[in-house]
Amino acid sequence: MTGMRPVQRIRAFFGTMAGQIFLILTLGMSVAAIIALLVAEQARHHDFERVRRARVVASAVDIADRLQRDPARVEAMMANHRIVGAAMAPAGVALSDTDAELESILTERLGRRSQPEAGQVPAGLCFPSGNRERAAGVIDAPRPDCWIVRFTDVRGARRAMALSFPRLIKPPSTIFNPAYLLVIVAASAGLAILVARSVAKPLRRLERAAEAFSLSLDPEEIPERGPEEVRAALSTFNLMQRRARAGFAERTQLLAAISHDLQTPLTRMRLRLELVDNADLRERLLADHQAMQTLVREGLDLASSTESREEWSVIDIDSLLASMAEDAEDLGAPVRFVSGCGGTVRVKPNALTRCIANLVDNGVKYGGGADISCTRSGGRLMIDVRDHGPGIPADQIDQMFEPFTRGPSSQPGGRHGTGIGLTIARSLAMSFEASVRLRNAPEGGVVATIDMKG
């Protein structure tokens, strides 16, 4: 992770479950909050319009009422501007933009036959131009709203009035204020992080436990803490781990018991072989005996490789690799220690030694030699054992770790040995929390890599 560019890191974060939860929650909550605010804004707008219309309706109904009671006086007062907020509408004004909603309310209040027309008009129509000069200092003041209402009264006369009201200014909307949006998004993101973390945490624990289980058969159980579903999952995992371990132990014990008990008849057979006089027959029987004995020995090795009673120690890794190569060379095997990585590593030394020895044996047997090298990267230590053979077909690499799998018989060196060496190597590696991988090297040959914490 450390070497990644920021873009890659962000992409990697959104690839994680926590990242996706974070993204969904942040976007979702922000959108939901904004929609809720828009709806509220809409409602506010409606209320505002309703209040504006209610003023017009109240005023119009009031004037209509007065006109009905005393038409002559009221008309005269309106003409002389003696009613505040109501005057005779100037003649010849066309209502280009009538307010249908207002008209329907007026129909309700003034009667079906009133056929009202109403609409807002420029303020000047309520106040003939001469008025403005009288009101000194109010030029810039907000000018009142001006409405024209026409209707037919009960006597059948068509009335037209200009109603003026102090201007109602709708307070500006705050939704699209960036600071406001920022608060919403930040709050959503904050909550999303909390949720994502609390969801991801037990999963991380589970993942770490599963990883530990894949590396070692004897990991610690995960503490069963957290919400109920999480506890149930962890408890199931622990149960599975215990069962797998028990099953594995049983298999190992069976293998050990069979291999162990075969040793007595094999001993008898070996001693009896000394009594065979026919040299040719004896030689063949000895070869068979040898093959059986190897199988038994490796079976026992496999069984004991899963039991890691050995203590952890800190070792000088290069000294181990160099001395193994020297020992192999002394026995005439073409094994080289190519490059070391210096420093120390914490392992189970005998298990590591046997693990490397198995890989080196394989390299010598199937690949005509082995080059041992060691590299460190990103807190890991990798020991490569490379042979000079023809490699393994890509589709067979994974099978190589199954017990009793050998290289193809067409391959030089194929089809002898027990095919259990790699299984033992992997099992040994697990005992010190390492893994073994095989791959074909681009320049030919197979590379077996022991990958451990270093």
Partner 1 sequence: MLDSSPARQATVLVVDDDADIRDLIIGQLHQENYRLLAAASLAELRRTLKEEAVDLIVLDLNLPDGDGLMLCRELRAEGADVQIIMVTARGSAIDRVLGLELGADDYLTKPFEPRELLVRIRNLLRRGRSDPAARPAAARFARFGPWRLDLQQRRLVAPDDSLVMLSSAEFRLLSRFIEEPNVVLSRETLVPERRATAAFDRSIDLQVSRLRQKLATVPGGDELILTVRGEGYVLASGVEQL
Chain contacts with partner 1 (rule: CB under 8 A): 256, 259-260, 263-264, 266-272, 274-275, 289, 293, 296-297, 300, 303-304, 313-316, 319-320, 322-324, 326-327, 330, 344, 349-350, 353
By C-beta, is 177 or 267 nearer to partner 1?
A: 267
Contact 54, 174 (CB under 8 A): no
Q: What kind and span of H or E run contains 105? A: helix 100-110
By C-beta, is 134 or 309 nearer to partner 1?
A: 309
In the complex, least distance from residue 400 CB atom to partner 1, rounded to whole angstroms: 25
In the complex, least distance from residue 389 CB atom to partner 1, rounded to whole angstroms: 25
Query: At which residue do the structure tokens 């999963």 appear?
Result: 203
* Side chain identity, residue 84: V
The 3-state DSSP class for residue 424 equals: helix
By C-beta, is 163 or 352 nearer to partner 1?
A: 352
By C-beta, is 191 or 322 nearer to partner 1?
A: 322
DSSP code, position 20: H
In the complex, least distance from residue 258 CB atom to partner 1, rounded to whole angstroms: 11
Give the chain's length.
454
In the complex, least distance from residue 2 CB atom to partner 1, rounded to whole angstroms: 28
By C-beta, is 103 or 298 nearer to partner 1?
A: 298
In the complex, least distance from residue 357 CB atom to partner 1, rounded to whole angstroms: 12
By C-beta, is 241 or 427 nearer to partner 1?
A: 427
By C-beta, is 319 or 339 nearer to partner 1?
A: 319
In the complex, least distance from residue 276 CB atom to partner 1, rounded to whole angstroms: 12
Q: Give Cβ neighbours of residue 386 (< 8 Å, ≥ 6 apart).
A: 363, 367, 370, 371, 373, 441, 445, 446, 447, 448
By C-beta, is 324 or 381 nearer to partner 1?
A: 324
Rg for the chain, CA atoms, rounded: 47
Pairing of strands 380-386, 335-339: unpaired
In the complex, least distance from residue 305 CB atom to partner 1, rounded to whole angstroms: 11
In the complex, least distance from residue 434 CB atom to partner 1, rounded to whole angstroms: 17
> Burial code of 290-319, b = ≥16 C-beta within 10 A, e = fewer?
eeebebbebbbbbbbbbebeeeeeebebbe
By C-beta, is 88 or 269 nearer to partner 1?
A: 269
Contact 60, 201 (CB under 8 A): no
In the complex, least distance from residue 33 CB atom to partner 1, rounded to whole angstroms: 60
By C-beta, is 120 or 252 nearer to partner 1?
A: 252
Burial class (CB in 10 A: 0-12, 13-18, 19+), 364: buried
Contact 160, 75 (CB under 8 A): no
* Side chain identity, residue 117: E
Separation of CA 283 from chain center: 65
In the complex, least distance from residue 302 CB atom to partner 1, rounded to whole angstroms: 11
In the complex, least distance from residue 317 CB atom to partner 1, rounded to whole angstroms: 9
Listed in sequence order, the DSSP H helices in 274-374 are 279-305, 317-330, 349-367
By C-beta, is 175 or 322 nearer to partner 1?
A: 322
Query: What does residue 385 show for φ and ψ, rounded to 5 degrees?
Result: -115, 110
In the complex, least distance from residue 265 CB atom to partner 1, rounded to whole angstroms: 9
By C-beta, is 104 or 290 nearer to partner 1?
A: 290
**What would the two tokens of residue 129 be?**
């131009």
> Burial code of 75-106, b = ≥16 C-beta within 10 A, e = fewer?
eebbeeeebebbbbbeeeeebeeebeebbebb
User: Sheet of 370-377: strands edge to edge?
Assistant: 335-339, 370-377, 380-386, 446-453, 435-440
Neighbours of 341 (CB within 10 A): 17
Contact 181, 102 (CB under 8 A): no
